[in-house]
Amino acid sequence: MAILELKKVQKTFGTGRTKVEAMKETDFEAEKGELIAVIGPSGSGKSTFLTIAGGLQTPTDGEVMINGTALADLKEKKRAALRLKEVGFVLQASNLIPYLNVGQQMQLLDKVKKGNLQKEEAKELYQSLGIDHLIRNFPKDLSGGEKQRVAIAKALYTNPSIILADEPTASLDSDRAFEVMNMLKEITKEKQTATIVVTHDTRLIDDCDKVYKITDGKMELQERVYDTL
């Protein structure tokens, strides 16, 4: 069963002559252990897709299912709880909470949700992401790459079944960007999460299981060149 499923989802803004179709009718599925890239130029509808998939906004038409639960049936409070339980967002590096150190960023999640990683598991996660020596550091003391690794750790800390990453490599140099993508791939396979990475950087999609391209709100699955080789 697909963990994340979008059925005939559409999103329009405005009406009449000002109507904009941000997302044309789209079907999408993500299974456990799949790393999926969603690529497209700026303004193509990538973020609209990500926010609808993560339950941050509701589609104009169609249905979004997370682990078998239709988001349309849930009120905002329940949607937030489902997000906390099932979805790990990896947002841009600057979005870490500036007044909490790395350890406290995770502790905050313990304050609002049960069933997060156990101490040993968390330790392993920090080691695997190479941030175990940064636990007492504040975001201002971290480099761009370190911030992004902390953001990934934060997304994984709640043991989500889906990871939604919004331009996770945007503020990184090439080496760091590849490093982060490799890390996401490893996590996806190891933890059997469905990981969807929204990016405009086509160099990073080689290791992805599926690639979707969005152009003017229309989302299409891309055939992979090496698949045919």
Partner 1 sequence: MKPKGSEFMFLAWNEIRNNKLRFTLVIGVLVLISYLVFFLSGLANGLEQLNREAVDKWEADGIILTEESDLRLQQSILSKDDFDGSGVDEYTELSQLSAIASNGDKKENVYIFAVDPSSFIMPDVTEGNAFVDEGEVIADDTLKEDGFEIGDELSLSSTDETLEIVGFTDKARFNAAPVLFTDQDTLETLQYGEFAEEDSDAINAFIIRTDNLNNVEADKTLQVIDTETFIENLPGYTEQNLTLTLMIYFLFIISAVVLAIFLYVLTIQKISIFGVMKAQGISSGYLAGSVVAQTFLLSLAGVMIGLFLAVITGLFLPAAVPVAFNYIEMLIYGIILIVVSVIGALISVQTIVRIDPLKAIGG
Q: Among 55, 129, 133, 65, which residue's Cα sits nearest to residue 101?
A: 133
Closer by beta carbon to partner 1, 41 or else 206 = 41
CA distance 49 to 90: 15
CB contact at 8 A, 108 and 128:
no
Closer by beta carbon to partner 1, 21 or else 207 = 21
Residue with the two structure tokens 């329940």: 78
Does 56 sit near partner 1 (CB under 8 A)?
A: yes
Does 138 sit near partner 1 (CB under 8 A)?
A: yes
Does 111 sit near partner 1 (CB under 8 A)?
A: yes
Among 113, 176, 189, 200, binds partner 1 (CB under 8 A): 113
Stretch that binds partner 1, among 98-106, 121-129, 175-183, 213-221 (CB under 8 A): 98-106
Does 74 sit near partner 1 (CB under 8 A)?
A: no
CB contact at 8 A, 57 and 186:
no
Residue with the two structure tokens 């960023």: 105
Does 12 sit near partner 1 (CB under 8 A)?
A: no
Stretch that binds partner 1, among 27-35, 83-91, 116-124, 206-214 (CB under 8 A): 83-91
CA distance 123 to 157: 10
Per-residue CA distances from 123 to 70, 110, 117, 172 (Å) = 34, 15, 9, 25
User: In whole angstroms, how large is the CA radius of gyration of the chain?
Assistant: 17
Among 104, 116, 128, 159, binds partner 1 (CB under 8 A): 104
Q: How far is the CB of 137 from partner 1 (least distance, A)?
A: 12
Does 162 sit near partner 1 (CB under 8 A)?
A: no
CB contact at 8 A, 207 and 37:
no
Contact residues for partner 1 (CB under 8 A)? 47-48, 50-51, 54, 56-57, 77, 80-85, 87, 89, 91-92, 95, 97-100, 104, 107-109, 111-114, 138, 154, 158, 166
